Amino acid sequence: MTAPSIIGSSSFSFYVPNQDYLKQCVDFYTACVGFGVHSRKESCVYLVSENGKLSIEVVAKSVDLRAVESLFILQCINLNDLIKNLQLWKKPVQISPNELFPNECFTVDPLGKVIGFTLTGNPLSTVPKVAKLTPLDHLSTSSTMSHSISNTNLAGTAGLTAGKRRNVAVMTSGGDAPGMNANVRAIIRAAIYRGCKAFAIMEGYEGLVKGGPEYIRELNWEDVRGYLSDGGTNIGTARCMEFRERPGRLQACKNLIEAGIDALIVCGGDGSLTGADVFRAEWPSLIQELRDTNRIDEEQYNSYKHLNICGTVGSIDNDMATTDATIGAYSSLARICQAIDYIDATANSHSRAFVIEVMGRHCGWLALMAGIATAADYILIPEKPASSKDWKEQMCKIVSDHRGRGKRKSIVIVAEGAITNDLEPISCEAVKDVLVSELGLDTRVTTLGHVQRGGTAVAFDRILATLQGVEAVEAVLECTPDTPSPLIAIDENKIVRKSLVDAVRITKSVATAIEAKEFDKAMSLRDSEFIEHLSNFMAMNSADHNEPVLPVEKRKKIAIINVGAPAGGMNSAVYAMATYCMSQGHTPYAIHNGFSGLARHESVRSIDWLEIEGWNSIGGSEIGTNRNTPEETDIGMIAYYFEKYKFDGLILVGGFEAFASLNELEKARMSYPAFRIPMVLVPATISNNVPGTEYSLGADTCLNALTEYCDVIKQSASATRERAFVIEVQGGNSGYIATFASLTTGAQASYVPEEGIELSQLELDIRALKESFASEKGLAKAGKLILKSSNASKTLTSQVLADIINEEADGKFDTKTAIPGHVQQGGLPSPIDRTRAARLAIRAVQFIEEHTDTIAPYKYSSDFPFDDKTISATAAVLGIKSSHIKFSSIRYLYDFETELGRRMPKKIHWARVRDIADNLVGRTRLTRTQ
């Protein structure tokens, strides 16, 4: 057999700890792999390939094995013969893509080093260069790789050539936040998948300064099992005064070098990330000092001249500039909203007022978003203070106005950093005293405290933390010594890299501006979304009480209708639309029970302020909904009622049926002048299948419900130890929910309608499941989940899949089905759906205000310009696309971006998320050609 060659290199060296290992390694590489001995010395053996083009040096030397490479890729002439040889030597073998047509295989040498063999000449290719793919003759079933590497999907490392690889470390610092564990899991597994060694630095900067194996630990694939559903941070966090001084940073530098780490990812707040950037800036001088004082040798100095650092933001306050959300913020907001929802019930029962303190020392984001999500009467935040007199008068006026209109309860939310414009703190007790003395209300104070940090992460934080963790690994691997330290951020719906230095600088300048009483400047330094939310809250809070903003001649009659299946956030959207309309002076009308209700029962009602009080936190659809479109009902009768009530605009809230309805109304403008008004769709469906947007209201509520359901099912499977569950997921022809639920729950596989279920893929997944159970025997948290979209296959139902898996399991484990059904629609809408509903709803009303004058001149024109793009743009879908909120013409979307037969957009925006979800559980997904 011809000895293989290392891809991208002509030589390779590695170390063994003693002479016994030296002999074992030489025997393995000569007798099994096919190398010859070129020369021997007492503690060194040179091995060469048959053609002399490759040499491997095996050296017996005592070194820190954490800094030694553990994987290299060899090009092989005859992979089949090699695999048979490895089996004869009783070596563990992992084959990719399958045993029938092997393209790559991986094994472990006597030192425990992972070695890859491939037929390809280019490590980035899957096309064999040196031989054709031929079926592999009989393979014994005992060739499964050992537990330590069986699930790492080592095929993913084939893109790495021999030579120096990054050793990537992750640490969490500052206050803990839900989702940090998901971030750590993603970083560890993404690093391993990319062929790197992965380390966790325990106890934050304290562990970095103390160093040693106790604090700087190499983690393998299985070490982060179960992290997704754990709250807090399992690798610990601690304050460290030593790191703030240069001697502490010097020791940290030495500890990283000794561990062989040259890339560090820090998950924390602005203080933690500031420390990380200072560390990187000082690194050249620190390593120079270590060399000059002989604490490291010349080889170490040359190998670790540069440290790549990347930041992911873990902070419940959401106070980091340049990113829309930080890891943990929405989980904390969920705890707050849940608590206020509970308090709301008792407040209503006793007609009480409650003052609720939430976290936010320098940032009022939690208080603001909780105020919107729960329709609180008043909020106090540090960014917008008033004088000691003004805030009391404003609060008392709003609360008394609400009480005067029949509201039985009052909720005031106070950020812990709330101040007056004289920088005097505003305490909850002070707020309570004002409500008691000025309004005579029975008032209670509730301080939520560290409850806001606790609990498992919501679906959004798991997704954000995971995607940011994967991107952080990509960033540190791509960074050069000249690249500024990146911060992984999210902009609307897109993961992006920002400057860490700029983000920290802007964040700190907000607190500085507040301390200098420059409140307008502090507000301007917050992102535009924060300012928009504050403006929206103030507008909705003054609805139907203050004088309307617009003059009488600009006030409109705006109809609101729900179309399609119920989705979390529908009521929140209706509430926001109605209250904003009232504050502007418009008259909001609710069309009850969809287009069928309008055509058959004239179900039009103007919306009363007190009637919709509390709708923000109610699931379903209070005005009713159904799936019938105008043409399926009676479009002529619908036009008649539109004309009768003289609607000036229409807002639809719903899914694909609402999308189709808007298209029908836009096309009917030629025949029915009543439809020549601005019309806009706010997408709301758990399937998230509306063209023109990457996010629909209800999807987050659904994911939260499904994630919680899967956590419970996985707990049951883990308790039984040897059990898997096939869970059937809704979503129609869209695999969005199944894909993201797979990411949030760590499911072993997910099957979606866009791909169907290939029998070869199913066979591969079952084999991986069997290997996984075999290697994890006795381990905790070993339950397995498989997610199947209901429309992924009509033949292979969830029960059939479970039966097939049970048949193939040979009694070594069993498989059950679980069908959550309409539980996936969720109960109470999530805070994300509530707050996004408010934002999108108000944008929709503003769209009608802005486009009324555009189409009004053509209302009764006999020469209606149907093909005019400006006119067609007045019927639009409001969506989130990448990093933007935008309106898209329904005609363009319907004609060019919609796959009508499948009720789906043509472009699947979440395809890469499927790859990430599979990679992080070690799943190999076959392509059609494979």
* pLDDT value of position 162: 35
At 778 the pLDDT is 59
pLDDT at 4 (0 to 100): 53
Is the separation of the CB atoms in 298 and 268 below 8 Å?
A: no
Contact between 78 and 91 under an 8 Å Cβ cutoff? The reply is no
What does the domain layout of the chain look like in residue ranges? 5-159, 167-325+457-507, 340-453, 552-697+829-896, 703-825+913-919
Question: What CATH number belongs to 5-159?
Answer: 3.10.180.10
Say what the pLDDT of residue 897 is: 95
State the angle between helix axes of 528-541 and 831-855 in degrees (0 to 180), rounded to the nearest 10. Answer: 80
Architecture of the domain made up of 340-453: 3-Layer(aba) Sandwich (3.40)
pLDDT for 780: 58
794: helix, strand or coil:
coil
| Residue 844, token pair as written in the block | 């929709």
Which residues carry a binding-site annotation for beta-D-fructose 2,6-bisphosphate? 627, 685-689, 723, 730-732, 816, 822-825, 903
| pLDDT for position 171 | 96
Q: Check if the beta carbon of residue 55 is closer than 8 Å to that of residue 3.
A: no
Scored b (16 or more CB within 10 A) or e, 691-711 reads: bbbbbbbbbbbbbbbbbbbbb
Residue 542: per-residue pLDDT = 84
Binding-site residues for Mg(2+)? 270
Contact between 676 and 646 under an 8 Å Cβ cutoff? The reply is no
Q: Which two tokens stand for residue 709?
A: 């359901």
Phi, psi of 78 (to 5 degrees): -125, 95
Which residues define the annotated binding site for substrate? Answer: 315-317, 352, 359-361, 416, 444, 450-453
Q: Which residues pair with 57 in a beta bridge?
A: 13, 46
Residues 6+ away with beta carbon under 8 Å from 762: 796, 801, 804
Distance between CA atoms of 574 and 563, rounded to whole angstroms?
A: 13
CATH topology of domain 703-825+913-919: Rossmann fold (3.40.50)
pLDDT of amino acid 123: 40
Measured between alpha carbons, how far apart are the two ends of the chain, in Å?
Answer: 28
Q: Which residues does 196 contact at the CB level (< 8 Å), separation at least 6?
A: 165, 166, 167, 168, 263, 473, 477
Pairing status of strand 353-358 against strand 443-447: parallel
The pLDDT of residue 930 is 54
Query: How far are the Cα atoms of 481, 566, 701, 813, 824 from residue 458, in angstroms, in the given order?
Result: 36, 21, 10, 30, 15
Residue 650 has φ and ψ, to the nearest 5°, of -135, 135
Neighbour-count burial of 727, counting CB atoms closer than 10 A to its CB (0-12 exposed, 13-18 middle, 19+ buried) = buried
Q: Is the peptide bond before 97 cis (omega within 30 degrees of 0)?
A: yes
Which residues participate in the annotated binding site?
A: 175, 239-240, 269-272, 315-317, 352, 359-361, 416, 444, 450-453, 627, 685-689, 723, 730-732, 816, 822-825, 903
d(CA 634, CA 365): 46
Q: H/E element holding 614?
A: none
For the domain with range 552-697+829-896, which CATH number is right: 3.40.1410.10, 3.40.640.10, 3.40.50.450, 1.10.1040.10?
3.40.50.450
Catalytic center residues? 317
Which residue ranges of the chain lie beneath pLDDT 70? Answer: 1-12, 14, 17, 50-54, 61-73, 76-77, 97-101, 111, 120-165, 721, 777-782, 927-930
Torsion of CA 874, 875, 880, 883, to 10 degrees: -30
Place of tokens 């290299």: 72
Helix/strand number for the chain, H first, E second: 28, 33
Residue with tokens 């920002």: 498
| Whether the domain at 5-159 and the domain at 552-697+829-896 fall into the same CATH topology | no
With tokens 């000691």, the residue in question is: 388
Alpha-carbon span 893 to 58, nearest angstrom: 63
Q: Which CATH architecture has domain 167-325+457-507?
A: 3-Layer(aba) Sandwich (3.40)
pLDDT score for 256: 95
CB of 24 closer than 8 Å to CB of 108? no
Cα Rg for the chain, rounded, in angstroms?
A: 31
Count other Cβ atoms within 10 Å, centred on residue 451: 14
- Please give the structure tokens belonging to residue 494: 């897109």
